[in-house]
Structure 1
Amino acid sequence: MTAPRHPAVPSRLAHLYDRLRSPGYGGDYNPEQWGPDVHAEDIRLMREAGVSLVTLGIFAWARSEPAPGAYDFGWLDVHMDRLADAGIAVSLATMTASPPPWLPARHPETLPVLEDGTTLYPGARQHWCPSSPVHREHATRLVGELAGHYADHPALALWHIGNEFGCHPARHCHCPVSTLAFRRWLRARYGTVDALNEAWSTDFWSQRYTDFDQILTPRTAPSFRNPGQRLDYQRFSSDELLACYLAEREVLDRLTPHVPVTTNFVPVAKTLDLFSWAPHLDVISYDSYPDPHDPAAFQRTAFSFDVMRGLRAGQPWLLLEQAPGAVNWRRRNGRKPPGRMRLESWQAVAHGADAVLFFQWRASRGGAEKFHSAMVPHGGPGTRIFRDVAALGAELAAHPDLLGSVPRRADTALLLDWPNWWALELDAHPADLGLLDTALAHHRPFHDASVATDVVPVTADLTDYRLLVVPNLYSVSTATARRLTEYVRAGGTLVMSFFSGITDEHDRVHLGGYPAPFRELLGIEVEEFDPGPDGSWAEEIRLAGAEAVETSGAGTPAVTRHVLGAGVAWYLGIRLGPAAMRTLMDRVRAEAGVEPVLPDLPDGTYARTRVTADGTPVHILLTERTGEVAVRRG
């Protein structure tokens, strides 16, 4: 029986959802690391653990194409057939994340180059230049062979392109091929070199170009590099990786138009503009690896999950990787205490995940990640982790109506913009600021008060949000500034933090006094910035229509409130601590009429709501301190 889906879930996902009966459950399956005896046990243990979905073939290019054009899928056929017979759906990888050794040996020009000229060689993974036409040619040829071979296989439920795009230094390449690609990208963006000179302010430090062929990628230099160049290079790098993804997607759409396509994003980072990627994924997929030693990890994870939910306007997404225990790549790899894996898995479901998967199914005996935990540890099924894995599989299977349900839309939105993130964290600023830290500080008061928050791009339709939170919008176009002003004028409530409205989309200062594009909105003028040596931030603010809600020790305005039209705009000219931020946000949301998901929740418990295909609300309550999870319907 096909599981019902909420109308908001795209029909393109039917091929995946029709193969599941409840939220997908499983992990990365790498049978090429093992022999037949282990393979037979794998299927038995998968059934015992309630596995319904696995990702297969992530790093199998060398096995499947041992020599150029010599494709061998016989070994994979065995596993696809075995999984199909067991009723386990497969997210089949295109295998292109890590090229086989023969490719760079024959074509060293495919290797990535760092900004200091260092070439990155094979021996790890993702050793390829994103702009390399040779790499793309070999990758798409492999994808075509895979798609043609498995188009109608009963196990195939989803295509998984690449793996963790932008994870390693290869996301930025400075080789001759990348340099030429960067110049082509700039020509397409600006048309003329004069327009580029204007955007990059190249009359400063005698950087004016007379030909696009003079432009390099931003390489190691004697001092501060041109910020406009660096900002455009970030855009270019995200676009080049997206082009790699789209080249593979085009092949898959042509040969298997009925099969949905995804790729897995790394834990929220500034490497890729995910809002520009999201329209090209049929379903968002995410890898979550919170640090057990981080006391704020639970809230950070909630924010990350809100980002994933927001990438496709509230559509359910897939948690394709997490660790059942410890990872292997931090300096100190603490284990997850008993119950934490279950809590974090349900946290993903509460925030909209329709699948919970792990890296990986069986712990590797050798290789760089042999100490990364897995669903089946080195000690086998007679371990606490496997028992917990099996228990969670049974628990998720008992909630079939959650599959295809959608998270309820929030009244509060938090604005996130990747180009602004890139620009904010460039050098030569009044102080080093981290956008993610500020975003988390603004998200936390709502999380702790069990107030749902959507994370949205600057282009989002804001009409139905009562409250909009805008952390450190340093780089902003005049068009976006106008939209935010009109949002407030029409009745919305906006909270904006310090160092916002400073530069345009080319990182050129908006003239007329800070924050020039937001002075009407906020009713203030900022004379100077005054960051402290202890990480504090202060601004010299003059009121120009706003009222001072809080003042600094010197008696100058620090937090302001301005009525504009039918709405209200708040401005935080200082960095507030967690307690003060919670107090202020409680006041702001009360004035805006924003309520918690459920009333009268005990301290430390927060809830999120999903709506099933028949309109039934399902509330998922999570308590970090005790690890308690509760599911309530109606």
Structure 2
Amino acid sequence: MPGLSDATRGRLLFGGDYNPEQWPEETWHEDVRLMKAAGVNSVTLGVFSWSTLEPTPGAREFGWLDTVMDLMHDHGIGVVLATPTASPPPWMGRLHPDTLPVTEDGRTEWWGGRQHFSHSSATYRRYAAAVTEDLAARYAGHPALTMWHINNEYCTFDYGDEAAAAFRRWLRARYGTLDALNDAWGTAFWSQGYDSWDGVLPPRLAHYMRNPTQVLDFRRFTSDMLLECFVAERDIVRRHTPDIPVTSNFMPLWTGQDGWRWAEEEDVVSVDLYPDPRDPLGAQSGALVQDLTRSQARGPWMLMEQAAGPVNWRGVNHPKPRGLNRLWSLQAVARGADAVCYFQWRQSRQGAEKFHSGMVSHAGEEGRTYREVRQLGAELERIAAGTAGRTVTADVAILHDWDAWWAGSQDGRLSGRVEYADVLRAWHRALWQAHLTTDFAHPEHDLTPYSVVVVPQLYSLTDTAIEGLVAHVRGGGTLVCGFQTGVADEDDRVRAGGMDHRLRELFGIRTLHEWWPLDAGETVTCEGFTASLWSEELEADGSADETVPYKGGELDGLPAVLRKGRAWYVSTLPEPEALSDLLAGIAAAAGVRPVLDGLPEQVEAVRRGEALFVLNHGREPVTVDVPGSHHDLLTGTPVTDRITLGRYGAAVLRP
């Protein structure tokens, strides 16, 4: 199966979405000149071009795309060719309203934006397959083609009648019988028992809270239906070009797709990443998404989209300060990216995203954005030979599961303040601030490569996953679990005792009496630190080797943190510094240390292959100890024992 290394051929891809249909043809030649000057070696074409390619049903207008494909090839620029199916033309919704998605309260989502398609619509799928077939047939042998990009940011939910019929088919395949469905959904509660498949619907707007397992299954179904759309188009282009890799871009930590399942169907795993330049934790947010994407790819991955400057969808959209675009791009390469790309090449003058930045901004060739893009392109070319295709290794894995996220995010939970993604970020942040590089893993993955496995929160776990956690500890690994882990099974059925008995035994917990969620602004005091968001009334069974008690309040003297052998349970959310210190200490005891000791707080160090990336996320210069003799690939200069990095400075060191 082809992969990213086949597409890059030992290079780091650099470029972005290019939308020539928005510009007159004379601009295309100017664009190519600027691309070559900036070191661009890859562009993505056709992402939202369906109405240009098929202006009326069945018509095909490929002439403009022929010209652009040839132009790119003539100038040595590869093309990631997209199927245009994320945004159907207006004629499709007008002629075929069955292709339009319906919201949970019965409203139709009309054309005029994007992603206005029903994943279950047979009509949509037929048109999508037809345009994909013709696109693949026409460009299969084109020398500019390096990769296929299917659709864009799959994110559609549909509660309409055609989706309802597909949901019933999906449920029949999953459960087989109505009795099994009724059992899994617990329909004895609130008189919800089904006597006919025809009565089963998506979780549409209801008078009061909807059945949680119905909602959970609908999440699974939606991910699977979108995946069917991807696979259908992927298989078409593969048939025409079996040696050309295929991808579709994820959104960062997006709740709507089971990213583990999707990644297994892609040749190249790619993601769009837009941290807020004003967020003091923006670099950590980026690192989390990069670590997750690398783990889904099980190797090099593709940064499909980022912003060279401001976006246009926040309440206030700030530009990136001088040097930040370069720094965050190098961070992506440090954490495994073999492609650094943008939305988009040239900033649009019309449409909804005219204030979203481009590699060429409205200021043009003389603008700061393009000058910084040129610098970055040259630097990526300098470091490519020492980084492209290399792996990033980690001794720590964070377990993440979309099913557990969906199950734990239902209505009727004990605290609406507990958001799975926020808890995940807090624990990753703690490890990042401890300068520990982490992988992500599914709870049923093989955990033997990791010395330390961290579970910020997995509300639901399968029996297989629980046995894997127990086996990890018994095999000599270290396990650290956060609060409300192992509460429910895969059907969102609460396990006896409020936590699986195997986990209680693993941690030395006799009884979990009550969960004690905390209000906004409320904290609990523990021995040595304060904590927020959550607490639990636990009774230890006497086998724990170490406990950290709550101090004061209703839980005074009860364990906030327990350790039994190599298994730790943390029943609250310690303040950031305390959580970082706790995890750093646990990792050190397991033999896991940062790649560099004594790093300043704002400095990140990651090793990729033989290359050591040292990144200063601060605005002030900083001196970093880097014992030994090195060669800085960015500057071509020798470095011995220490290096000084300026504001947003970076070094890529090799022995």
- Same fold judged by TM-score > 0.5? yes
- Residues 61-107 of structure 1: per-residue CA shift (max 9 Å, x gap): 10111111111101100000000000000000011110011111110
Alpha-carbon offset, residue 375 of structure 1: 0.7
CA distance, structure 1, for counterparts of residue 498 and residue 347 of structure 2: 58
Q: How does 1:382-421 map to 2 (within 5 A)?
A: 382-402=366-386, 404-421=388-405
| Alignment of structure 1 residues 498-517 onto 2, 5 Å | 498-517=483-502
Cα 1:377/1:13, change in 2 over 3 Å: closer
Match of 2:527 in 1: none
2:604 to 606, 609, 629: 606
Which residue of 531, 539, 543 maps to 1:542?
A: 539
Which whole-Å CA distance do the structure 1 matches of 2:539 and 2:190 have between them?
A: 34
- Where has structure 1 moved over 6 Å in runs of 4 or more? none
Task: From 616, 621, 632, give the equivalent of 1:623.
Answer: 616
Letter in 2 for 1:519: R
Partner of 2:123: 134
Give 3-state SS (helix, strand or coil) of 1:538's partner.
strand
Q: 1:1-20 maps to which residues of 2 (within 5 A)? A: 11-13=2-4, 15-18=6-9
Distance in 2 between residues matched to 1:335 and 1:50, nearest whole Å = 23
Q: Does 1:258 align with 2:260?
A: no
Matches within 5 A, 1:562-573: 562-563=564-565, 568-573=566-571
Mapping for residues 17-416 of structure 1, pairs under 5 Å: 17-18=8-9, 22-166=11-155, 171-313=156-298, 315-402=299-386, 404-416=388-400
SS of residue paired to 1:355: strand
The 3-state SS of whatever aligns with 1:140 is helix
**Alpha-carbon shift at residue 493 of structure 1 (Å):** 0.4
Q: How big is each residue's C-alpha offset from its partner over 1:464-515, in whole Å with a ceiling of 9 and x where there is no partner?
A: 2100000111101122111111110111100000111111000001114534
Distance 1:133 1:532 in 2: 48
Conserved? CA contact 1:402–1:610, under 8 Å: no
Give yes or no for contact 1:424–1:475 (8 Å, CA) kept in 2.
yes
Is the 1:375–1:386 Cα contact (8 Å) retained in structure 2? Answer: yes
Task: Tell me by how many angstroms 1:571 deviates.
Answer: 0.4
- d(CA) in 2 for partners of 1:362, 1:339: 20
For residue 561 of structure 2, what is the aligned residue in structure 1? 559
Q: Which has the higher contact order (CA 8 A, sep 6+)?
A: 1
Instruction: Provide Cα deviations, 1:316-350, integer angstroms capped at 9, x if missing partner.
Output: 00101000110001111111111110011001000
Q: Secondary structure at the match of 2:17?
A: strand
Letter of the aligned partner of 2:261 in structure 1?
S
Cα shift at 1:516: 3.1
Contact 2:3 2:268 in 1 (8 A): no
Counterpart in 1 of 2:624? none
After the TM superposition, which of the residue ranges 459-468 and 74-83 deviates more from structure 2? Answer: 459-468
Contact 2:435/2:604 (8 A) holds in 1: yes
> Partner amino acid for 1:596?
P
> For the residues of structure 1 that align with 2:288 and 2:229, how far apart are their CA atoms?
28
SS in 1 for 2:118: coil
Taking structure 2 as the reference length, the TM-score comes to 0.91
Structure 1 residues 409 and 15 mapped into 2: Cα distance closer, same or farther (>3 Å)?
A: closer
Contact 1:12 1:258 in 2 (8 A): no
Where does the alignment leave 5 or more consecutive residues of structure 2 unmatched?
521-531, 619-646
What is the deviation of 1:129? 0.3
Query: Is there any run of 5+ residues in structure 1 with no aligned partner, and where?
Result: 1-9, 612-616
1:11 Cα deviation from its structure 2 partner: 4.9
Q: Give the Cα–Cα distance (whole angstroms) in 2 for the partners of residues 503 and 397 of structure 1.
A: 50
Q: Sequence identity of aligned pairs in percent? A: 47
* Aligned-residue offset at 1:406: 2.4
SS in 2 for 1:439: helix
Paired residues, what number? 609
Look up the SS of the partner of 1:43 in the other structure: helix
* 2:653 counterpart of 1:632: yes
Alignment partner of 1:406: what SS? coil
Q: Distance in 1 between matches of 2:512 and 2:397?
A: 26
In the alignment, residue 86 of structure 1 is paired with which amino acid? H
CA distance in 1, matches of 2:90, 2:97: 10
Q: Which moved more, 1:592-601 or 1:375-384?
A: 592-601
Residue in structure 2 matched with residue 528 of structure 1 by the alignment: 514
Once the two structures are TM-superposed, the CA of residue 308 in structure 1 deviates from its matched residue by: 0.1
TM-score by structure 1 length? 0.94
Does residue 430 of structure 1 match 2:414?
yes
Contact 1:548–1:557 (8 Å) recurs in 2: no
8 A contact 2:292–2:439 mirrored in 1: yes
Q: Please provide the CA RMSD for this pair.
A: 1.3
2:585 matched residue in structure 1: 587
2:7 corresponds to which letter in structure 1? L
Equivalent pair of 1:23/1:402 in contact (CA under 8 Å): no
Shift of the alpha carbon at 1:289?
0.4
2:548 and 2:561 in contact (8 A); partners too:
yes
